[in-house]
Structure 1
Amino acid sequence: MSLIRPFAGLRPVPEHADDVIAPPYDVLNTEEAREKARGRPYSFLHISKPEIDLPEGTDPYSEQVYNQGAENLQNLINKGVLMREPQACYYLYQLQMNDHIQTGLVAVASVAEYDRNRIRKHEYTRPDKEADRVRQIDALNAQTGPVFLTYRHNTTIDSLTDRVSQSTPLYDLTADDGVRHILWRITEQKDIDLITDTFEAMDCLYIADGHHRSAAASRVAEMRNSGAREVGEASHDYFLSVIFPDNQMNILDYNRVVRDLNGLEPAEFLQRLEERFDVQTSDQQVKPARSGEFGMYLSGQWYRLTIKPAQIPEQDPVGRLDVSLLQNNLIEPVLGIDDPRRDKRIDFVGGIRGLDELEKRVDSGEMQVAIALYPTALSELMAVADAEEVMPPKSTWFEPKLADGLVSHVLD
């Protein structure tokens, strides 16, 4: 048993890769997925969002939906659109979004090491979302959504990545959103051994995104082992992952919009903020330039908020996060939202949408105030995970997103 290992991936034949590639299952709702898959019978959305092939109004968590996904996957295999790799290998996966480039390794990672927290977490999971992924994996007998992992960059892996990425790729595709996806196969045994041994020597890996997928993989392994196999031996004892070095990761801001001011007039609201923030008006949009700084849009006016030093806890990796400073000094005490996971008065806007989206949500009357944050640093995420703590909800927004369908992990 090792931290990661190669695997015989299920992937599109090259001539159909562009037909198959799809956004992650959790970035589209059913109607958006149905529209994006229209006229694209080989789109992986037919597997990751199979309710699009059933009558409108079908419960996306019904047994019929999971069965439809399994049938759709088998159909793509039968038609020769998807093929099984003849041997276990690693893959190199490069994402290019505008000027940003990041190159990671596609591998399967150990469930046992996840359970021991060597693959470290930083979020709680929701039981309903976790159960959905368990049922999807079990029905497909495959893991189709990769977990997004990161590690402290390593010169050995950097050198191998540089060399492999000079060769001819399996796929070189540009998705609808303009993100370029390039995939290489690593089949040389010496390279495979070097990768496996180098990662085995690392202290840990970190989950960047995909806590529900990794938790579901652990539950499927527990279900399928049931004493019949030694843990670590079977394909279901590993989960599909793409692993990027920390110095290439791109985290964007994850901003907040709130429907009301908790019964306060705007002037009262601003006065309350001055107890914990330095508040300045701005004649232009405020994109925070550093940690501890926030942009706020209220009644057609932008403000720059700077947290007062006395409000920043010194030895608390969670409490020092900007998302925590905002929650503990504004969202909860002033706006009265103590559980942002469940309170319908608050919503979250990924930084990829820009500050214009915040203005739009407020100017439309849907929301009354919007707050822009400085992006969480990856070092902060790692510090929280190392302390075995949990980050507040919606702390990180990673871009670019991994595609679904390029490589899947079959549970033999």
Structure 2
Amino acid sequence: MPLIRPFAALRPAPGRAAEIIAPPYDVLNTGEARVLAQDKPWSFLHISKPEIDLPEGTDPYAPEVYAKAAQNLAEMIAAGVLQRDDKPCYYVYRLIMGDRTQTGLVASASVAAYDSNRIRRHEFTRPDKEDDRVRQIDALNAQTGPVLLAYPDAPAVDAILAEVSAGVPEADAVAESGVRHTLWVVRDVQIIAELTGYFEALPALYIADGHHRSAAASRIAASRRTGDAEADHEYFLAVMFPYHQMRILDYNRLIRDLQGLGEAEFLERVAGCFDIEASVGQVHPARPGEFGLYLGGRWLRLTIHGALIPQDPVGRLDVSLLHDHLIEPILGIADARRDKRIDFVGGIRGLGELERRVDGGEMALAFSLCPTRMEDLMAVADAGEVMPPKSTWFEPKLADGMISHVIV
């Protein structure tokens, strides 16, 4: 089975993308989705968050929610708002956010490659979130949420994507976030064959975002397996970008209290592992091993003692260093996934959000971190290890509704 292959996508009809595309289903809650989809009958939120079309208070995991998603998808297809290509193609997807551009390939990726770890992961998944995606895919007979993948250096692939995207796009829309989403269709069989071959020569692909979607696709494939390795359910929807174009933002931490310590005693204990320096303004860490601490209305710069940085790919991550030498031993938070005393804020919100929540008394202190590097993510995945929770925040994000993969 090839690592990737073309597929006949279900996508917006010409000129309809702006009416359809929506934020990923997992970055907004039901209330936010309801507001965003108001007066937008073709918003993909009616498929990705279908509880917005049911009475308020409906359990988003209830059977009628998935049934509503299937009904809404069928109505959009019947109305001609979504159309399916008549033959398998590849697609070039470009994201533009401010002065940043990334251009990638949309394909169906092999479940077998995922199961054998050629498509590599770096996160644990939660069973409840996996179950939700399995039920959604089963109800729709389609994968509507793409998995975000990174590929290692492949200049020949980059060149083809640049050439294709020099032409006129078949979809071009600006989302509410201001991110521009553009799509080109690759129908040329020779170019398709070249791309397939170039990807087949790569040692691995890396999941950046979408661990629950890929895990759900694997479960769907296992449940539907008939022995036909070419069946659509043996592949999942993926958008692959060159790793060097991908942008990870900082993923910052807020802590509710000082674990009974006074401010002076807390800082004295921090000084056992970190150099502490006063800052005249916000601390945006510029290099690994450096952290910002907002406490008592002021910013401090923390730099971990070099001797404490291990060589292993997980232990040397900034999120690990902060947790292992401060958050757990000093603040008593051992399980960052479940402890209610810690919260996480993506860097897209800015450091002002940290100040606001500390100054307002909701939280006692905050930490700003240097963004995780793509090279570190790939090293963790190559080692077969798992990153700590809330290690990466990717921007810009793919849109739901720009492209879907039918699996019947």
Instruction: Classify the TM-score, shorter chain.
Output: over 0.9
- Please list the CA deviations of residues 245-289 of structure 1 after superposition, one character each: whole Å capped at 9, or x if unmatched: 011011110000011111111111111100100011112111101
CA distance in 2, matches of 1:298, 1:10: 50
Q: Which amino acid aligns with 1:167?
A: G
2:268 paired with 1:271:
yes
Trace 1:175-324 onto structure 2 (pairs within 5 A). 175-225=175-225, 228-230=226-228, 232-313=229-310, 315-324=311-320
CA distance in 2, matches of 1:72, 1:298: 49
- Please list the CA deviations of residues 342-362 of structure 1 after superposition, one character each: whole Å capped at 9, or x if unmatched: 011101000011111110110
CA distance in 2, matches of 1:93, 1:308: 43
CA distance in 2, matches of 1:153, 1:30: 39
- The equivalent residue for 1:369 is 365
Trace 1:317-356 onto structure 2 (pairs within 5 A). 317-356=313-352
- Please list the CA deviations of residues 28-58 of structure 1 after superposition, one character each: whole Å capped at 9, or x if unmatched: 0000000000000000000000000000000
CA distance in 2, matches of 1:282, 1:333: 25
CA distance in 1, matches of 2:83, 2:352: 43
CA distance in 2, matches of 1:343, 1:54: 33
- Please list the CA deviations of residues 194-217 of structure 1 after superposition, one character each: whole Å capped at 9, or x if unmatched: 000110111110000000000000
CA distance in 1, matches of 2:34, 2:158: 39
Q: The residue matched to 1:15 in structure 2 has which SS?
A: coil
CA distance in 1, matches of 2:365, 2:14: 48
2:41 paired with 1:46:
no
- Please list the CA deviations of residues 73-102 of structure 1 after superposition, one character each: whole Å capped at 9, or x if unmatched: 001001111001111000000000011000
- The equivalent residue for 1:122 is 122
Q: The residue matched to 1:285 in structure 2 has which SS?
A: coil
When normalised by structure 1's length, the TM-score is: 0.98
CA distance in 2, matches of 1:14, 1:331: 51
Q: Which amino acid aligns with 2:110?
A: S
Trace 1:27-42 onto structure 2 (pairs within 5 A). 27-42=27-42
CA distance in 1, matches of 2:158, 2:385: 30
CA distance in 1, matches of 2:369, 2:69: 38
Q: Which amino acid aligns with 1:305?
A: L
CA distance in 1, matches of 2:177, 2:15: 21
Deviation of 1:364 (Å): 1.0
CA distance in 1, matches of 2:214, 2:105: 17
Q: Which amino acid aligns with 2:361?
A: G
CA distance in 1, matches of 2:55, 2:173: 32
CA distance in 1, matches of 2:197, 2:309: 41
CA distance in 2, matches of 1:367, 1:118: 42
- Please list the CA deviations of residues 224-248 of structure 1 after superposition, one character each: whole Å capped at 9, or x if unmatched: 11xx223x22100000000000110
Q: The residue matched to 1:407 in structure 2 has which SS?
A: coil
Deviation of 1:16 (Å): 1.5
- Please list the CA deviations of residues 294-343 of structure 1 after superposition, one character each: whole Å capped at 9, or x if unmatched: 00100101000000012111x21000000000010111001101000001
Q: Which amino acid aligns with 1:186?
A: V
Q: The residue matched to 2:15 in structure 1 has which SS?
A: helix
Q: The residue matched to 1:14 in structure 2 has which SS?
A: coil
- The equivalent residue for 1:397 is 393
Trace 1:137-148 onto structure 2 (pairs within 5 A). 137-148=137-148
Q: Which amino acid aligns with 1:190?
A: Q
CA distance in 1, matches of 2:286, 2:198: 37
- The equivalent residue for 1:25 is 25
Q: Which amino acid aligns with 2:333?
A: I
CA distance in 1, matches of 2:49, 2:259: 38
Matched residue count? 408
- The equivalent residue for 1:102 is 102
CA distance in 2, matches of 1:347, 1:275: 24
2:76 paired with 1:79:
no
Q: The residue matched to 1:297 in structure 2 has which SS?
A: strand
**Percentage of identical aligned residues:** 65
Q: The residue matched to 1:173 in structure 2 has which SS?
A: strand
Q: Which amino acid aligns with 1:373?
A: L
CA distance in 1, matches of 2:237, 2:12: 16
Q: Which amino acid aligns with 1:229?
A: G
CA distance in 2, matches of 1:51, 1:216: 20
Deviation of 1:71 (Å): 0.5
CA distance in 2, matches of 1:126, 1:158: 34
CA distance in 2, matches of 1:109, 1:176: 29
Q: Which amino acid aligns with 1:372?
A: S
Contact 2:15 2:171 in 1 (8 A): no
Deviation of 1:153 (Å): 2.4
When normalised by structure 2's length, the TM-score is: 0.99
CA distance in 2, matches of 1:172, 1:267: 55
The counterpart of 2:384, out of the listed 380, 383, 388, is 388
Deviation of 1:15 (Å): 2.2
- Please list the CA deviations of residues 128-183 of structure 1 after superposition, one character each: whole Å capped at 9, or x if unmatched: 00111000000110000000000112111111111101111011111111111110
CA distance in 1, matches of 2:103, 2:219: 29
CA distance in 2, matches of 1:34, 1:11: 23
Trace 1:151-162 onto structure 2 (pairs within 5 A). 151-162=151-162
Q: Which amino acid aligns with 1:213?
A: R
CA distance in 1, matches of 2:338, 2:4: 36
Q: Which amino acid aligns with 1:377?
A: R
**Runs (5+) with no aligned partner, structure 1:** none
CA distance in 1, matches of 2:161, 2:8: 20
CA distance in 1, matches of 2:287, 2:159: 33
